Amino acid sequence: MKIATFNINGIKARLPRLKEWLAETRPAVACLQEIKSVDENFPASELEELGYHVLVHGQKAFNGVAILTDGEAGYEPPKEVQRGLGIDGPKDGEGEQARYLEVDVAKSDGAATRIVCIYLPNGNPHPGPKFDYKLAWMDRLRARMGAIWAAEVPAAVLGDFNVIPEDDDTFSVKAMVSDALMQPESRAAYARLLADGWTDALRTLNPRGGVWTYWDYQAGAWQRDHGFRIDHVLLSPELADRLLAVGVDREHRGREKASDHAPVWATLKD
């Protein structure tokens, strides 16, 4: 089973690239972030034409996540377990942002895999209320992941974590040192998830670092390969034991009208 995460930075602007990627790489499960669309405007039928089932958790203009499952390969529609972590955004009265969607995925005759799609708050500027919100969100995430762990279901948490875990996960420590993505508190919160027992799939198979998943649109970052690793796939012990391969679909970042993120995938033994 191939599972993948892709921050598409706007479904409206990215639909052609997304369809292309799905057709070319055919993940069984695709977690999307930054759809920047309300549920009603998400072009589900366009993806259903490709054989995918679609579950959307969106909001107006910003954020928003979605999970796709490959119906053509025999997977059932994502079965919703939970949407949202029950935490309000950083501005008074705005309510919760659409950043968390948890489902069960299975074939009709098979066991379920718990899939969690996250778009973790960016947290810039640091310090400030947005950074506080990021850390609070990470606390909530850890608590929820603890509950999933306790349920002993095979589980994967995939998405844009907005955390650069180690110094060799960025082209330049100096350029990023004051950024919320690599503050010690952000890293410590991410490290706690790993200390809890979750496996960072990409890091495990590329322990020397130097693998990027994001390149800024600005300052020629892609052309200079000025990237960093912020999109992660975390696996429960059972899925970590079944891990066969991981990768970044880097080439898709270089296409016309590309997202600023590249897709990240992991294949698991069936």
Partner DNA sequence: ATGGTAGACGCTCTA
Footprint of DNA on this chain (CB under 7 A)?
9-14, 36-37, 60-63, 91, 121-122, 124, 130, 217-219, 257
What is the C-alpha separation between 172 and 19, in angstroms, rounded?
Answer: 33
What is the C-alpha separation between 54 and 71, in angstroms, rounded?
Answer: 10
Q: How near is the Cβ of 64 to DNA at its closest, in Å?
A: 9
Known catalytic residue: 52? no
Nearer to DNA, 188 or 219 (CB): 219
* Set 100, 133, 160, 260: catalytic member: 160
What is the C-alpha separation between 122 and 134, in angstroms, rounded?
Answer: 7
Q: How near is the Cβ of 113 to DNA at its closest, in Å?
A: 28
Nearer to DNA, 61 or 244 (CB): 61
> The sheet that has 113-119: what strands, in order across it?
79-83, 100-105, 113-119, 155-160, 231-235, 199-200
Q: Which helix (H) or strand (E) holds 58?
A: none
* Set 52, 75, 100, 119: catalytic member: 119
Nearer to DNA, 9 or 69 (CB): 9
Q: How near is the Cβ of 149 to DNA at its closest, in Å?
A: 27
Q: Is the peptide bond before 125 cis (omega within 30 degrees of 0)?
A: yes
Nearer to DNA, 122 or 204 (CB): 122
Q: How near is the Cβ of 56 to DNA at its closest, in Å?
A: 14
Planar angle of CA 61, 71, 152, nearest 5 degrees: 85
Nearer to DNA, 34 or 70 (CB): 34
Tokens (6 digits) for 32: 């999307």
Q: How near is the Cβ of 37 to DNA at its closest, in Å?
A: 7
- Interstrand relation of 155-160 and 113-119 (parallel, antiparallel or unpaired): parallel
3-state secondary structure of 1: coil
Nearer to DNA, 75 or 137 (CB): 137
Whether the Cβ atoms of residue 268 and residue 3 lie closer than 8 Å to each other: yes
Contacts of 229 (CB under 8 A, 6+ apart): 164, 165, 169, 170, 202, 209, 211, 212, 213, 214
Q: How near is the Cβ of 40 to DNA at its closest, in Å?
A: 11
Catalytic residue numbers, as ranges: 119, 160
